[in-house]
Structure formats: structure tokens, C-alpha cells
Chains A and B, each alone.
Chain A
Amino acid sequence: MNNTIVALATPVGVGAIGVIRLSGSEAINIVQKIFSKKITDKPSHTLHFGKITGLDGKVIDEVVLSIFKAPKSYTGENVIEISCHGSPFIQQKIIELILKNGARLAKPGEFTLRAFLNRKLDLAQAEAVADLIAADSEASHNLAIQQMKGVFSDKIKNLRQSLIDFASLIELELDFGEEDVEFANRKELLLLIEEIEKVVNGLKISFSTGNVLKKGVATVLAGKPNAGKSTVLNALLNEERAIVSNIAGTTRDSIEETINVNGVLFRFIDTAGIRTSTNEIEDIGIGKTFENIKKADLILYVFDAKISNLKNITDEINSLKTEKKIIAVANKIDLCDIKKVKIELKKLGYDVVYISAKNKEIKELTEKLEKFAAQLNNQSTTLINNVRHYEALVKTSESLKDITNGINSTISTDLLALDIRKALFHLSEITGEISTEDLLDNIFSRFCIGK
């Protein structure tokens, strides 16, 4: 465990810079062997510009070193981060050099495992780090940061404590009470359970929002074949650079197109299907489209402004049979009398935007998406976004219901105590107060190598 590990901390590939991280008692000494300036006497949390020289005496790169000394570092050990130029060749050379000087390559998750072992992270925080790495947009990043600060852990811990207090009263009743004496007031108990249920349900709901932020807003472009869906998508994709700053490497899936609006990722589900739908699929109500709508967080209903009337559009939207958020996109406004159309569609019960995708006039649509993104960001106060947490909450919720039903049907106190213990167990699963092997495996295997 005490040997020094090294890995590339930034994604593999060409970028502006790359970061190579070392952790371990020998981290500073190893880097000293290849760095042009003396660093062994430098204080923690300092930056140093200099050259890294290869065994052949040739300079490999000019870099900036960040020094973090134990225990004040991410892992709790001596840590050095080398910011070098973003060439895979240079990075590879530097890592090879470090390996030759006594470090070894880090295993997946090993940096975080060390942080965890050195008490830098609790379990919930460790999982949040995993999410942080997986996060590829700003909102999701905020979420992960928030969870790391322990807001989420605190909330659950408080809930659990009030339930423990109550459970002890019940136990007292069981072991010391004379027959039919109640120490724990059942009405107060019901109120407490209700209160806990509220918070648990709130967290459960935030899971969906959290999930959206983490995975991106699943967006479906629906509409009749000639409405111009693919033109709309292309216009959005072309426009992207103008509306967002950082977009690098966001595409996760070859069949998905993604854009980043105000830090929120929009994911267009099965865009290939949407693109080829023009000639074959007349009826929007069939097969694939419905499946996609089920998975969607947002639906853009695109229609041809020139040939549509209020009744048709209402019928078509209704035929989607969904309660998801729908934005009606009136396309091809360059070809019609926009005033007339606007008057006609005033009574439509949905948000309508007017665009001309062909002429790249899609400002109204992008504004709408920005607004939608902003709303999502606002909703993310204390959130949970981890499937394991979610499952534990669902199980807690079930146990809480059992407690309520139990009290109402006056089941015996020993059985009531079981349901309370069960709820406590599931709450503990979230805060890591009960750790199981599976859980640790699951957490640490999710880290990529640099962390």
C-alpha cells in the first residue's frame, strides 16, 4: 500500500493540457529526479514551473508542478500533479520516466481508495467523486460537489437519529414495560414517520432531477415527416458553439447527438431514427417513437407553420399520449404569414416557439432550452443521483409505510420494532454506517484510473 502510484488524471487524447498525478510517500523524491529545479524543500500547496528531462538528457516538456504534502492532499499522502502539454506522446514519455524512477501505475480507483483509507472521504463522498468523474457538464458537477460536502449525508444522519431515539422508546416498552403500557406515544410516532417520509420522498423525487442532470436531458424531436426535424437538429448542433463555452468530449453514444446549454446537457435520443423517419413513418404513434417518448424528459414537437392549424396540432400532440414537458416548434416561418399563424396558435395550451431552421433562425428555441436548463439547475438543492442511494430510499420508504400500517392496525410492538429497525438499516446503508463488501467493490470499481 505504501508504494507510490502514478496515472494520467485527464482524459486520454489531445487537449490543451494534460495532468499527471503521483501519490505516495516517494512522490516528491521521484519527481525531483526528473525535474529541473529543487522541490524537496518547497512547502505544500505551491506551484513550480520547470523542465522535465529524459534519461538521454533531452528536455521532454516544460511543465508546472503542484505540490501537496501529506496529510493535506486529496489522498492524504504526498501528491504531485504535473501539468504538461496535452500531447499523448509527451504524457506517455513522462509517465514512462516516472515509472522508471520507482513509481508504479495506479489501479482503477486507487487514488480515491487511498483517500478513503486515509479518512479523507466517507462512503457517500467517495461515491460522489465517482459521479464527479462521470459528470460531463457543469450542473452535474455542482451536484457532485454538493454531495461531497456532506449536505446529503447530514440530512440522512439527522433523520436516522430521530428514528433511533424513537426506536429506543419502543425497546424500552418491550423489555421493561408491564403489559399494555406504552412509553412511545403512537400518535407522535405517526407524526415523526410522516415527517421522515416527507424528506425521504423529497430525496426520491430529486433523484429523477439528479439523474437528468447527470445523464443529460433526454430530448425527443417529434413531428410529421416533412416538418423539418432533422434540419432543426442540425441547426441546434451548428448553433451550439455560439451558446456554450465548453463542449469537448461530451458525446457518449454514437447514435446520440448532444448539445450543452447553460451547463446542462441535452441528449437527442435515437436521432438516427428521427432523421430517417421522413419517408417511412407516417404515423407518429407507432413503435420506436413511443418508446423514445417514454424515456424522454423533454419533447420538441416540430411542425410546419405554413400548413398547420390549431386543431391539427392539438390532435397530433394529443396523439403522443404523454404528460412530459412539450415545446411546440413552429418551423418554416420564413414561408408563411407569421402574424396569422401566431394568432391561430395563441390558444394552443403549450409553449410555442417560431423558427426557421433552414435559415438558422432558431433563437427562440435556444432561449427556451436555456430557460428549461436554468429551471433544472434551480431545482438541484440537495439531491441524490446515485442508484444505490435511491434504492435504499425506496426501501426506507417501504419500511416507513409498514410502520404506519402497523400502528394503524395495532400490530404487536415486537413486529413494529422490526419495521423500525429495517428503516434504520436502509438509512444507514446510505450514509455508509453499515458497509458491505458489495458496496465497496461497486464504489471503487467505478473510478477511472486518474482519480
Chain B
Amino acid sequence: MKKKYDIIIVGAGHAGCEAAYASSMLGSNVLLITSNMETIAKMSCNPAMGGVAKGQLIREIDAIGGMSGIITDSASIQFRMLNLSKGPAMWSPRSQCDRMKFSWNWRLALEKCTNLDFWQDNVIGFSIVDNSFYVKTTLGLSFEGKSLILTTGTFLNGIIHIGNVKIGGGRASESSSKGITECLSSFGFIYGRMKTGTPPRVDGRTINYSILEEQKGDDGYSGFSFWSKNKPLINKSSCFITYTNEDVHSIIESGFKESPLFNGSIRGIGPRYCPSIEDKVNRFADKNRHQIFIEPEGEDTIEVYINGFSSSLPENIQYKALKKIKGFENVKMFRPGYAIEYDYFDPTQLFASLETKLIPNLYFAGQINGTTGYEEAACQGLIAGINAHNKINNKNPLILSRQDAYIGVLIDDLVNKGTNEPYRMFTSRAEFRILLRQDNADQRLCKIGRDIGLLSQEKYEIYKNKLKRIEELIWFVNKEKPDLATLNDFLQKLNSNKLTEKTTIYRILSRPEVSFNSFINNFEGYKDYFKNFEKDEIEEAEIMIKYSKYIEKERELAEKIISLDYIPIKEGTDFSKINSLSSESREKLNKIKPATIGQASRISGVSPADVSVLLVHFGR
């Protein structure tokens, strides 16, 4: 057994996998330690990737050269573009995935990384000697690494709750991880307790789908990855929608006294926006029904996932309540829902590179930082992997800004504001939502991915070629003026105002009621030209044309707001010596150690007046 590595990664969930892939592909010798080789990249909760704001994260990972998008596409059984009625900044891709295939395909992808080794074992702690990490395992081994990335998910001192039953575990039927929290705590790290939950899985054959609302996938999309083009996804499965009712609610209520959530057994803080069914019934007593979304667990399996019914009530209550749901009258349950409590570490103990402030070359990514979600974890893993590699090779860390990427927003929020509930990405967390669209993630990040060396030259050429073609398309519609009579016929059909003189296609496409596709379909003369372009190229050009005014507006605003990010704060500044700052912000600033005034302005407790004071001190 080889014992010495550049980078050691503990945990092979979504964060650990991206970290392992990125750092080993960049050239580091990497060891990935997982307690179970069969559950690499396991989807612990629902079998879907993406969704509002999360889909954007996957597209960003893909543009930098990460794997989550490619794996998702390879395991996709249904693709949807959410929020099409809300404008391009809200369009969000989501894929239902085959749970087993997703996990398996990730493992195969990692197995192709020649610099990456695997080891199945439990890590119980580490020591540091001469700037090297010595990682200790249950089997009594010790591995040496220059750098250590912890992606421990829900495993640190994990406790599973089902009614009054408490089981130590990191996931159903997997044991928890002991020792790491205590080890970090002895180094001075501050930790807390969080809670999350998952719903029951049931036998799909026992659900009466014929009386439920079916939700099919959207056709014509090629999925998440910019690099799976020309391979349109096939929608193999459907989701179904049903609702709880008052009968369900009264059974749930009858179980309140045995609920670990209400009887004080669970102390960790759960996500407010993803409440358990008992929490929903309790908090929204006036609502007589809640939506239930039935997701297939895979292409072939009969198991299905009951989204919206997360619960830690006793198994028999869960089952009784399920049977009262429309379509579930004869349901058989495979696994009950459960809640899980685990340790996390206050993320303000990290730099924006995800390196800890206390120990150089130690990185945290994923739920250990208080986040929730596969996508949130994956993007942190990617950044931690890149930065661990960069640091030991004396390169600058990759720090994405808030106007570059949702990833930048996420990390900036975490390290400056911290979080006291599981942190999930929302589009409203981004100030520059209209710039951070899923469609332009490649324009925002491919260059960065290529410069780091993670995105291959081949993929970069694909991107550059696409960009060139979009530019040509825009150039063409900007010079071309269609025949006036044909144009007015077309406009009339769309109830759009007629024109008195010829104008460019660009101007016509600026009208909200005129879509690019309807234009192409109505002008025979241009069909030959436009058919040379891909669907996503036309779509991208259309967004750039239609929303140019807004994109410009947002860019202006972004420039103004981020101007503070260009003013550095001297390293090693002792903020307690700046008397004019409020005492709260002095303390916060000393803890966070912001690198710029912009970063300081986003720390909670630092008021605008404090920012002005910092400006006076550091502005010149």
C-alpha cells in the first residue's frame, strides 16, 4: 500500500468526487478514502440533479471542467427546463437520474483518473508533523499527505432518528464517522449541529398512477453538459403529482408526541425551506393539503421516492399516513423516512479558497460547511480540489467572484456570513442573476477552466467555436433587413405592430412577442442560413438580443457594486485598533479577515457606516 500522497480526500460523496477528479486530473497524486466503495457519489436524498439555482451550479461546474454535468446526463431518465415562463435568468435545468447508474458512472469516471488511488476505511483523525498530514484510520493505517480535504457529508457523529429509535449512522445502513470532529475541535475549530431529513421510498407497483397527474420530461434538450451536444436526451420516465389531505394530516398530528423533532430529541437546525411533513402540518395548520411529488428511483427499478413527505415520525405513523394519500391506498413501503443530525464547522473559519484559516493546506467542502444539496457540495469539492492542487504547486487559488458565478456567491456567502441553517442556493442570493444564467455558464467560466488546466483544449475549442458562431449569427441578424411586405404579414400574425420601413432582424427579435424560432419558420428565404445553427446557439443569440438592455443594465449596476471589491485591505490589519468601527464589526472583521472592502461590506454585522470608515482608512 502506497502511503504518501499530494492530496488526501476523506469522503466520496459529491464534494469528494469532484475534488478527487479535479485535483488528480490537474496532476496531483491523490488518495480518496471512503468508508464504502459501493456508495461512491451516492444520491442520499432525491434522485435528481439541478432545479432552480442548482441547475446553474451544475452548468458552472461543467464549464470549469468538473464532472457532475456529464455524469448527470449519463444517468438521466428525464430532463426538464424549469421556469420557462419566468425569463432566462430563472430557466433551470433538472434531471431525474437513475440512482444506481449515477453512482456507478461516477465511480467509473474516477477509475479512469490515473493519478487517483482509492482506499476503503474509516478515518478517525489526523496529526500534523513538519507540515505534513498523517491521516489515521480504523484499520490502524496512517497515510501522509501534503494537503487534506474533508468532505464528510452527514457522517460526522451522525445520528439517525425514526420516531423514538436512534441509530448512529451517516446514512441509512451506513455507520457514522467518529473522531474527526474531536480531532478538529482539539485544533481549535468551532463546530455545530445540523439536521436534515429524507422521505420514505415505496413500491411503485402499489401506486395507482392512473388517477394521478403525470409530469413528463421536455423533449429536444441535450442535458446539462455543454459537451454532450448532439446527443439529445431521451425521456424514459415520468414523475407524478398528488396531494396530502386532512386525513393524512390528522394521522401525522397523532404522531407529534413521538416526533423527535417536537419532543426535543433533535437539537440540530434543519432547513426552513425543506421542512418535514410533520413540520409542514404543524406550521401551516391552515393549509389543507401539501403537494407530493413522486420521483422514479431509476429506469428499471420499481422503487420510487416520495418527495415532499420527509419525516422522522415512527415508521408505523409514516405508513398509516402514506396510505391516506390519493393513489397510495394500497402502497407498500420499502424504507421509512428519517432525520439525521450531524456535525458541521462554521464556514467563516475558511478563506474563500475553502482552505481553513487555522491550518494551512486543510480544506473543507460540502455539508461539513453547513450547506445542503448535491450541487452545492459538488461545486465546493471542485473548488477545494483545484485550490489544494494549486497551493502545493505555488499557484494562486481560484476564487470566483459574485458576478462570475453562483459558485462565487455561495462561497462568498459561506465564508463571510456563515450560516445557521443548512445553506441552499437560491437565485435571489445572487445580486446579478441576469448575468449568471445557465445558458451562458460557458461564456463566464470556460476560459477560467482552461487557464487552470482542468478544461481540456478540445472542449475549449468546442466552446470557442460555439461563441464564434453565435457572434456570426448576431452579426447576420444585425445587418439583414427582410422584405417589408412579408415581414408585416408575419408581424400581423403575432399581433405585433406593423412597420412602415425596412428594419433589421435584430430589431424585430427585440420585440418580446417575436421569437427567433417563429421568425425562422416564417421566412423561407432565411431557412437555409439558419439551419446551419444548433438549437442552443439560436437560443443563446436570442437571449443576448432580447435581453441586451437588461443585461447591460445589470452589468452597469454590477460594476458599481463590485467597485469596492477592487480596494484591498492590508493583510494582517488589526481591526480592533480602528476605534471608529462598531465593536461588533471590529470583532467580526478580525475573525473573517476580509481581503477587500467589498468582502468586508458583505459580512453580517458590518454596517454601511463601518464600510465608510474602512474606505477612509484603506481607500487611498
For residue B425, which residue of chain A has the nearest CB?
Answer: A175
Contact A175 B612 (CB under 8 A): no
- Does B457 interact with chain A (Cβ within 8 Å)? no
For B431, the chain A residues whose CB sits under 8 A away are 421
Within 73-111 of A, Cβ neighbours of B (below 8 Å) are at: none
Contact A123 B553 (CB under 8 A): no
| CB pair B426 A175 closer than 8 Å | yes
Minimum CB–CB distance for B377 against chain A, Å: 20
Q: Does B609 contact A (CB under 8 A)?
A: yes
Asked if B265 is at the interface of the complex by the 8 Å CB criterion, the answer is no
Q: A421-B557, A425-B557 known; A412 and B90 CB under 8 Å?
A: yes
The distance in angstroms between the C-alpha atoms of A119 and B609, with both chains bound, is 8
The yes or no answer to A418 lying at the interface (CB within 8 A) is yes
A410 to B431, CA, bound (A): 22
Chain A residues, Cβ within 8 Å of B89? 414-415
**Contacting residues, chain A, for B53 (C-beta < 8 A):** 175
Give the distance to chain A from B182, nearest Cβ to Cβ, in Å: 37
Select one of B83, B85, B512 contacting A411, CB under 8 A. B512
Question: Could you tell me if B86 and A175 are in contact, using CB atoms closer than 8 angstroms?
Answer: no
Instruction: Say yes or no: is A151 at the interface (Cβ < 8 Å to chain B).
Output: no
Interface-located stretch among A142-150, A278-286, A433-441 = A433-441
Within the complex, the shortest CB–CB distance from B133 to chain A, in Å, comes to 39
Query: Which of A417, A436, A437 is the one whose CB lies under 8 Å from B433?
Result: A417
Judging by beta carbons under 8 Å apart, are B434 and A435 in contact? no
Q: How far is the CA of A418 from the CA of B89 in the complex (A)?
A: 11
Identify which of residues 573-620 in chain B touch chain A, using a CB-to-CB cut-off of 8 Å: 579-580, 608-609, 611-613, 615-616, 619
Q: Mask for B423-453, Cβ within 8 A of A = 1, else 0? A: 0001110010110000000000000000000
The answer on a CB contact under 8 Å between A415 and B550 is yes
Cβ-based interface call for A191 (8 A): no
Distance to closest chain A CB from B148 (angstroms):
35
* A179, A413, A422, A436: the one within 8 Å of B553 (CB): A422
Question: Contact string, B49-82, partner A, CB cutoff 8 A, digits 1/0?
Answer: 0001100000000000000000000000000001
B554 is an interface residue with CB less than 8 A from chain A: yes
Contact yes or no, B90 A174, CB < 8 A: yes
- Are B609 and A418 in touch, CB under 8 angstroms? no
Distance in Å from the Cβ of A410 to the closest Cβ of chain B? 9
Task: For A237, list chain B residues within 8 Å (CB).
Answer: none
Return chain A residues, CB-CB under 8 Å to B608. 428, 432-435
Minimum CB–CB distance for B514 against chain A, Å: 14
Asked whether, in the complex, the Cβ of A117 is within 8 Å of the Cβ of B563, the reply is: no
Task: List, in ascending order, chain A residues with CB within 8 A of B512's CB.
Answer: 409, 411
Residues 408-429 of chain B, each 1 if its beta carbon lies under 8 Å from chain A, else 0: 0000000000000000001110
B460 to chain A, nearest CB (A): 30
Count chain B residues whose beta carbon lies closer than 8 angstroms to a beta carbon of A.
Answer: 39
Minimal beta-carbon separation of A157 from chain B (angstroms): 12
Is B183 interfacial (CB-CB < 8 Å)?
no
Q: Is the CB–CB distance between A116 and B612 below 8 Å?
A: yes
Q: Which residues of B contact A381 (CB under 8 A)?
A: none
B88 neighbours in A (Cβ, 8 Å): 412, 414
**Contact, CB under 8 Å: B86 / A413:** yes
Among candidates A119, A175, A421, A441, residue contacting B427 with C-beta atoms closer than 8 Å: A175
Complex CA gap A3/B609 in Å reads 23
Do A413 and B561 form a contact, CB below 8 Å, given A435-B615, A440-B612?
Answer: no
CA distance A113 to B615 in the complex (A): 12
- Whether A418 contacts B86 by the Cβ 8 Å rule is no
At the interface, yes or no: B547 with Cβ under 8 Å from chain A?
Answer: yes
The answer to whether B580 touches A413 (Cβ under 8 A) is no
CB-defined contacts of B85 to chain A, threshold 8 Å? 179-180, 412
Query: How far does the Cβ of B426 sit from chain A's closest Cβ, in whole Å?
Result: 4
Determine whether B87 belongs to the interface, using a CB cutoff of 8 Å to chain A: yes
Whole-angstrom CA separation of A428 from B560 in the bound complex? 13
Tell me if A412 and B87 are in contact (CB < 8 A): yes
Do B561 and A179 touch across chains, with their CB atoms under 8 A apart? no
Provide the residues of chain B in CB contact with A309, threshold 8 Å: none
A-B pairs with beta carbons under 8 A, tally:
94
Q: Which residue of B lies closest to A168 (CB)?
A: B428
Q: Do B553 and A414 touch (CB < 8 A)?
A: no
- Separation of A432 and B611 alpha carbons in the complex (Å): 10
A100-141 at interface with B (beta carbon < 8 Å): 113, 116-119, 122-123
Q: In this assembly, does B474 line the interface, its C-beta being within 8 Å of a C-beta of chain A? A: no
Contacts of A434 in B (CB 8 A): 561, 608
B325 interface residue (CB < 8 Å to A): no
Complex partner residue of B86 from A118, A174, A432, CB under 8 angstroms? A174
- Chain A residue nearest to B426 (CB atoms) is A175
Residues in B84-111 with C-beta less than 8 Å from chain A: 84-90
Complex CA gap A417/B550 in Å reads 11
Chain A nearest CB: distance from B181 CB in Å?
32
Distance in angstroms from A370 CB to nearest chain B CB is 42
Q: Which residues A357-412 have CB closer than 8 A to chain B?
A: 409, 411-412
Q: Indicate if the CB atoms of A117 and B90 lie closer than 8 Å.
A: no
Pairwise interchain contact A422-B563, C-beta atoms closer than 8 A: no
Q: In the complex the two chains form, what is the Cα distance from A336 to B492 in whole Å?
A: 74
Complex-state Cα separation, A171 to B52, whole angstroms: 12
Across the interface, do B90 and A413 meet the contact criterion of CB distance under 8 Å? yes
In the complex formed, the residue of A with least CB distance to B291 is A178
Query: A261–B563 Cα gap in the complex (Å)?
Result: 46
**Residue from A116, A122, A174, A433 within 8 A of B428 (CB atoms):** A174
Whole-angstrom distance from the CB of A167 to the nearest CB of chain B? 9
Nearest-Cβ distance from residue A310 to partner chain B, whole angstroms: 51
Q: Which residues of A contact B564 (CB under 8 A)?
A: 436-437
8 A Cβ contacts from B523-555 to A: 547, 550, 553-554
Given contact pairs A113-B616, A437-B619, A413 touches B87 in the complex (Cβ within 8 A): yes
Tell whether, in the assembled complex, residue A432 and residue B52 are in contact, meaning their CB atoms are under 8 Å apart.
Answer: no
A387 to chain B, nearest CB (A): 18
**In whole angstroms, how far apart are the Cα atoms of A179 and B616 in the complex?**
47
Are B553 and A435 neighbours in the complex by a CB distance under 8 Å? no
Contacts of B580 in A (CB 8 A): 117-119
For residue B567, CB closer than 8 A to chain A, the reply is: yes
Q: Which residues of B contact A179 (CB under 8 A)?
A: 82-86
Taking CB atoms, residues of chain A closer than 8 Å to B561 are 425, 434
Distance A422 CA – B432 CA, assembled complex (angstroms) = 11
Using CB atoms and an 8 Å cutoff, list the residues of chain A in contact with chain B.
Answer: 113, 116-119, 122-123, 171, 174-176, 179-180, 409, 411-415, 417-418, 421-422, 425, 428, 432-437, 440-441
Q: Can you list 25 contacts pairing A with B, beta carbon distance less than 8 Å?
A: A117-B580, A117-B616, A118-B579, A122-B609, A174-B428, A179-B86, A409-B512, A412-B87, A414-B89, A414-B427, A414-B434, A415-B550, A417-B428, A422-B553, A422-B557, A432-B609, A432-B612, A435-B608, A435-B612, A435-B615, A436-B560, A436-B564, A436-B615, A440-B612, A440-B619
Known: A417-B433, A418-B553, A435-B611. 18 other contacts (CB 8 A): A116-B612, A116-B616, A117-B613, A171-B426, A174-B86, A174-B428, A175-B53, A179-B86, A409-B512, A414-B433, A414-B434, A418-B434, A422-B557, A425-B561, A432-B612, A436-B615, A437-B564, A440-B619
Q: Which 6 A-B pairs have the closest CB atoms?
A: A412-B87, A171-B428, A117-B580, A414-B89, A414-B87, A175-B426
